[in-house]
């Protein structure tokens, strides 16, 4: 594709003049622009291309030397695990999006910055984005410039985390884009209100909206515009490696389904932003760039556990424990769930208005009545429910059972024992056996996995099996994994997931019917475990990277095959002094000229 003429380059040179001192000297290396579309499965991308929702990606595949392939992301099929593997080549110790640290008696959740920072602080490998940029990611990859990135190597102020003065200047230099952003925000709010009303009329709404409409505006309009502006500036400056996540499809896929009109319609808007970035790489980029577009994991259509069974998984566990008689085995077990209907945060918004009404003088009766009406409306429509704070982060000493939800994957811990428990440990306590047996019989739980010495035990209502060294041995009934249709790499990933030391003593997988999976969160699109397309993301990369020939059986393989060749050369850590820094592959034309 031809580069733009001198007039366009002059326009950008004038526009970005205040940033001229940031411009990188050209070192002769090609740069990498990596764009992650969160949760878009390979199959769903192919469907979106066929239906016309991704014209830019379709043109990229048709007109350039680019390959599209499916890969396997590993388990859990969740962004923290996958992005740690992509950016650091290290993702052990991340058994789910939410999990429990027995030593700290703390729920670690990637919904909260401190939870992601917990993961970031335990990664020892160097990040691949050193000298580059990270936008809208969970982890920074040691990037020199990071904005809207949750966890970073160095502590940052909120102002810097939002992009700092650099982002403020970009906003000031794009008044037309800002006006467009305001208009699009209003349209997005109206779209959300209509869709919610339609859902209520048709009975398809699965859960309270909370502040989702405002989160939708923030992610689908504001964040997408700001990250696009920041990437365009980086391309002009010649930043050597850029990684950014478009998270909008994931948000709407969870809320409406991965193949819904809402998710696909928003994917088309992301595709338009990708078109802007591709034009920038051709028109005014400070170096030649290779463009990689990928997803970190996929998504499977789901049904909410709470909607299907009229209670949350935490409520199910509590109900089972309440029905358990006290025996000589010890005190009754008490549960804490990572999503609790009686959360202390559930009614925070209306309670604030109640306080305001009490402060108002009695003579201001009309004011009190107005506040009361607003309070009731807020409670019905936008109560600050668990969509903001879905977890209690510290576990009370009285709780000896902890359940954390991560979409269609749940981890259950017996917190009264600090060790990772084996199946034999569970069998010695009748309280734990009762809970295990009753959960296994529940139709919403498709599989329970436990540690069993050197192997992993998996069991469903229809049968049980052991997994060791990637081999499955059915010990009773039918193969409990059969309905999930796992291949060899899935079986190995299950074994690795269950054997993680900070994984649950019971690992619960939502029931799967071959199309839909049960989600323990209130979602109609789910990922985190296996079954369907959730472990099968896509990768689009230049043909000379030879991704079709590469083994991509975990997110760590993306780090090795795609990211490492573009790492900015720098003095490596002492323990890695003997490891060569790979150079970016030559394009075919460059190979010919070198000869």
Same domain, 489 and 565: no
Q: What is the pLDDT of residues 102-121, one digit of tens each?
A: 988 888 989 888 899 999 99
Q: Compute the distance between CA of residue 443 and CA of residue 537 in angstroms, rounded to an integer.
A: 28
pLDDT at res. 89: 97
Same domain, 72 and 132: yes
Same domain, 377 and 314: no
With a cut of 70, list the residues of the chain below it in pLDDT.
Answer: 1-5, 196, 199-212, 324-332, 334-360, 363, 375-399, 570-595
Strand 31-37, strand 289-294: pairing: parallel
Domain boundary among 326, 358, 381: 381
| Helix or strand holding residue 458 (H, E) | strand 455-459
pLDDT at res. 330: 55
Q: Is 360 exposed, middle or buried (0-12, 13-18, 19+ CB in 10 A)?
A: middle
In a domain, 54, yes or no: yes
pLDDT at res. 200: 64
| Helix or strand holding residue 283 (H, E) | helix 261-283
Same domain, 43 and 129: yes
Same domain, 314 and 427: yes
Same domain, 407 and 469: yes
Question: How many Cα atoms occupy the beta-carbon half-sphere of 288 within 13 Å?
Answer: 12
**H helix and E strand count, the chain:** 21, 20
Q: Compute the distance between CA of residue 298 and CA of residue 37 in angstroms, rounded to an integer.
A: 10
Q: Compute the distance between CA of residue 507 and CA of residue 113 in angstroms, rounded to an integer.
A: 25
Same domain, 375 and 440: no
In a domain, 196, yes or no: no
Same domain, 443 and 553: no
Same domain, 256 and 324: no
Same domain, 359 and 446: no
Strand 241-246, strand 133-135: pairing: parallel
CATH code of the domain covering residue 137: 3.40.720.10
Q: Compute the distance between CA of residue 140 and CA of residue 101 in angstroms, rounded to an integer.
A: 23
What angle do the packed helices 164-172 and 224-237 form, to 10 degrees? Answer: 100
Q: Show the domain range for 551.
A: 6-89+125-164+235-299+534-572+580-590
In a domain, 459, yes or no: yes
In a domain, 26, yes or no: yes
Q: Are 464 and 480 in contact (CB under 8 A)?
A: yes
Total number of domains in the chain: 3
Q: Are 386 and 111 in contact (CB under 8 A)?
A: no
In a domain, 179, yes or no: no
In a domain, 307, yes or no: yes
pLDDT at res. 371: 76
As a dihedral over the C-alpha atoms of residue 570, residue 114, residue 167, residue 186, rounded to 10 degrees, the angle is 140
What angle do the packed helices 261-283 and 55-63 form, to 10 degrees? Answer: 50
In a domain, 211, yes or no: no
Q: Compute the distance between CA of residue 592 and CA of residue 595 in angstroms, rounded to an integer.
A: 5
Entry pTM:
0.84
In a domain, 138, yes or no: yes
Same domain, 280 and 375: no
Same domain, 25 and 80: yes
Q: Residue 54's closest CA among 222, 263, 259, 268?
A: 268
């Amino acid at each position: 594709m031809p580069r733009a003429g001198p007039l366009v380059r002059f326009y950008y040179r004038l526009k970005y003049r205040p940033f001229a001192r940031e411009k990188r000297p050209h070192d002769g290396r090609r740069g990498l622009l990596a764009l992650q579309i969160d949760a878009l499965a390979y199959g769903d991308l192919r469907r979106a291309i066929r239906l016309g929702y991704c014209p830019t990606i379709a043109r990229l595949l048709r007109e350039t030397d680019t390959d599209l392939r499916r890969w396997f992301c590993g388990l859990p099929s969740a962004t923290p695990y996958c992005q740690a593997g992509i950016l650091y080549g290290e993702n052990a110790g991340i058994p789910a999006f939410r999990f429990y640290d027995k030593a700290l008696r703390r729920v670690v959740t990637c919904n909260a910055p401190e939870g992601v920072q917990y993961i970031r602080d335990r990664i020892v490998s160097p990040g691949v984005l050193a000298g580059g940029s990270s936008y809208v990611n969970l982890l920074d990859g040691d990037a020199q410039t990071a904005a809207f990135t949750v966890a970073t190597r160095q502590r940052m102020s909120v102002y810097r985390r939002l992009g700092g003065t650099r982002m403020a200047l970009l906003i000031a230099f794009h008044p037309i884009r800002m006006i467009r952003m305001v208009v699009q925000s209003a349209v997005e709010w109206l779209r959300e209100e209509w869709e919610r009303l339609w859902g209520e009329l048709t009975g398809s709404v699965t859960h309270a909206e909370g502040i989702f409409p405002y989160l939708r505006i923030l992610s689908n309009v504001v964040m997408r515009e700001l990250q696009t502006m920041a990437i365009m500036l980086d391309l002009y400056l010649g930043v050597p490696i850029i990684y950014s996540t478009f998270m909008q499809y994931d948000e709407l896929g969870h809320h409406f389904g991965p193949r819904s009109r809402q998710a696909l319609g928003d994917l088309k808007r992301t595709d338009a932003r990708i078109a802007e970035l591709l034009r920038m790489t051709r028109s005014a980029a400070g170096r030649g760039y290779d463009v990689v577009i990928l997803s970190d994991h996929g998504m499977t259509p789901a049904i909410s556990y709470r909607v299907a069974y009229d209670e949350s998984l935490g409520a199910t566990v509590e109900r089972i424990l309440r029905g358990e008689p006290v025996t000589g085995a010890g005190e009754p077990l008490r549960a804490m769930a990572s999503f609790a209907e009686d959360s202390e945060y559930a009614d925070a918004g209306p309670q604030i208005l109640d306080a305001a009404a009490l402060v108002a003088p009695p003579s201001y009766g009309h004011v009190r009545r107005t506040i009361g009406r607003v309070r009731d409306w807020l409670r019905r429509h936008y109560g600050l429910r668990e969509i903001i704070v879905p977890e209690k982060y510290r576990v009370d000493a009285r709780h000896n059972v902890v359940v954390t939800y991560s979409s269609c994957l749940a981890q259950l811990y017996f917190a009264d024992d600090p060790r990772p428990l084996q199946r034999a440990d569970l069998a010695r306590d009748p309280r734990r056996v009762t809970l295990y047996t009753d959960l296994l019989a529940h139709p919403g739980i498709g599989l329970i996995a436990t540690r069993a010495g050197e192997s992993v035990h998996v069991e469903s209502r229809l049968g049980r099996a052991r997994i060791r060294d990637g081999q499955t041995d059915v010990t009773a009934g039918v193969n409990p994994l059969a309905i999930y249709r796992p291949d060899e790499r899935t079986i190995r990933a299950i074994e690795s997931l269950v054997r993680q030391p900070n994984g649950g003593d019971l690992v619960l997988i939502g029931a799967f019917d071959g199309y839909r999976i049960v989600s323990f969160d209130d979602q109609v699109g789910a990922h985190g475990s296996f079954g369907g397309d959730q472990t099968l993301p896509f990768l689009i990369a230049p043909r000379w990277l030879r991704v079709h020939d590469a083994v991509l059986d975990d997110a760590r393989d993306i780090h090795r095959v795609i990211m490492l060749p573009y790492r900015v050369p720098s003095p490596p850590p002492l323990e890695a002094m003997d490891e060569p820094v790979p150079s970016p592959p030559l394009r075919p034309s460059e190979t010919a000229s070198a000869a």
